[in-house]
Structure 1
């Protein structure tokens, strides 16, 4: 009878992962303590992975970092400096970690987003939209009396970025103490993806945790100024994704040629990171695969808007590494495919994504 109740409880949790212990007790006509005992037994058997009833086959990719309102302003004609320009305007939810999380959720991955928002309408809308898209946002931080972050991109008539303005100060609240308070939610991660909007001490903390626990950690650069947040020693980092300028900042060199980029990547690998991917815009990507080196061309597409393409690339790479046993070439090809879809969309995250979007692509 006891085993029967435990199995019934397991089936209910599998169907409703966020059901409360009180609801379980009422449905099964058990005491709260009996429910807690059954859950503890299931955790010992590793059929559940702890609080929030995470199942082994649905361990989430946990994305930590920037989340904000994206405002994209695009000139109607040629941009003229020093005067007023007629523009069109588009507003959506954005932020590097948030964009990666939404892409992953739309691709069918279990995904958690840990970010900081204000207690304004933008923050509430951002978290609500995340839940609708399939992200678990319950571990995020809402700050009283604060306005949510914003990212304003000025695009030319061809959709290329001319200037970007980022208001990301709330990310400073994602400090070590806060991350420690979310240990339960983070401990079940299949992979942790963090952007460099996080404070340096928080990046150090996640790195030390990755070394200690063996969980894959992917770091995604966001700008040249924030490259200073990257640890000097990169032991424990599975993958670093960044662009040519950010890589040049890391190694304090100008990277004019492909050989320069290759040499810089080897320098960064020598600092401890397992692999490096350098995004080169329409030229494609260059990447390491352990001791090997590869260059992949980007597919030619009609660009609608470049915003979010790099985040889509990173999301597809992470999706692939979680599904395809660390095959870097397949990961980068999937990244380029998803970036191309995003470039052709006016949205920051392509709305047409589905769980089969990256399945059965040509090798």
Structure 2
């Protein structure tokens, strides 16, 4: 197995609107799409579409949304042994996308909040056989910390996407992550520093290096990415595309980065290709539905 993703899944309820409603206003949405999402599942799906063998550890509810999520995993070649059922609702994400492809998202964790350290222990043998652990913050924070400790104990690199942003994230408990991958908003909340200019973004990223993290990769949307470590900083320019829907672009980046990193061992190559893959994803609607396969993307590694 290549990658273990320990994280969330959601059902995306995507409304395509002409504009965002004002406070107290009701407007009509011209289009709607039901999709599979959640940061964990999205990142796992991007890596899987590109050819990685992905171990998904997650929890769904006892509702119809759970059946939809499990079928989606099965249809894409996942072993659903660790897609665990919990009484209650599955994770749900109402998403609003306007004509300029801007989006606003509400997350209801549901069963995702019940993913526990015990679930990691139950999957320990399979996780320990993976080459990379990928985490986000849509599950219980103690489970995230436990997964980082697991990776450290077993010598497995850990990638943490600190999203949704949590200003109370304990940097001392995530310092053993090999890769921390925030966007600029998350970077600002984690560090309490401004991120308006490239110089400010690099300074904030270096604060995370000071906390003990080896590599910080800041995703900057259409402006590309910044990679900072103890030796240097490298800027990656954004790809020029006609954006239709930016939902899930960050997850596309992380899933692709994870796949290429595991296949090549080269961070620079992984960022370069992930930058292009994320840009490609925004040219289509939806989250997972916008993620290209290796053949569609022209990836040969």
Q: TM-score range by the shorter chain?
A: over 0.9
CA gap 1:356/1:92 in 2 versus in 1, 3 angstroms? closer
Gaps of 5+ in 1: 1-58
Instruction: Tell me, yes or no, if structure 1 residue 86 matches structure 2 residue 28.
Output: yes
Task: Show the counterpart of 1:314.
Answer: 254
Task: Show the counterpart of 1:165.
Answer: 106
Instruction: Give the TM-score normalised by structure 1.
Output: 0.78
Query: Over the residues paired in the alignment, what is the CA RMSD in angstroms?
Result: 1.8
Q: CA deviation at 1:63?
A: 0.6
Aligned counterparts of 2:139 and 2:25: Cα–Cα separation in 1: 36
Task: Show the counterpart of 1:342.
Answer: 281
Aligned counterparts of 2:95 and 2:16: Cα–Cα separation in 1: 8
Note the alpha carbon deviations across 1:88-145, whole angstroms, 9 max, x for none: 111100000101111111111101111110121110120111111122221122013x
Choose between structure 1 and 2 for higher RCO, CA contacts under 8 A separated by at least 6 residues.
Answer: 2
Contact 2:158 2:177 (C-alpha < 8 Å) held by counterparts: yes
Aligned counterparts of 1:323 and 1:333: Cα–Cα separation in 2: 14
Aligned counterparts of 1:194 and 1:115: Cα–Cα separation in 2: 11
Contact 1:195 1:219 (C-alpha < 8 Å) held by counterparts: yes
Contact 1:207 1:235 (C-alpha < 8 Å) held by counterparts: no
Q: CA deviation at 1:252?
A: 1.4
- 2:294 match: secondary structure: coil
Instruction: Tell me, yes or no, if structure 1 residue 153 matches structure 2 residue 92.
Output: no
Task: Show the counterpart of 2:183.
Answer: 243
CA gap 1:218/1:352 in 2 versus in 1, 3 angstroms? closer
Q: CA deviation at 1:337?
A: 1.1
Contact 2:7 2:41 (C-alpha < 8 Å) held by counterparts: yes
Instruction: Tell me, yes or no, if structure 1 residue 188 matches structure 2 residue 117.
Output: no
Instruction: Tell me, yes or no, if structure 1 residue 354 matches structure 2 residue 297.
Output: no
Larger Cα-atom Rg: 1
Note the alpha carbon deviations across 1:200-255, whole angstroms, 9 max, x for none: 2222212222222110111112222x353454243421101111111111111222
Q: CA deviation at 1:360?
A: 4.8
Aligned counterparts of 1:275 and 1:245: Cα–Cα separation in 2: 18
Task: Show the counterpart of 2:60.
Answer: 117
Instruction: Give the TM-score normalised by structure 2.
Output: 0.93
Gaps of 5+ in 2: none
Q: How many residues align?
A: 298
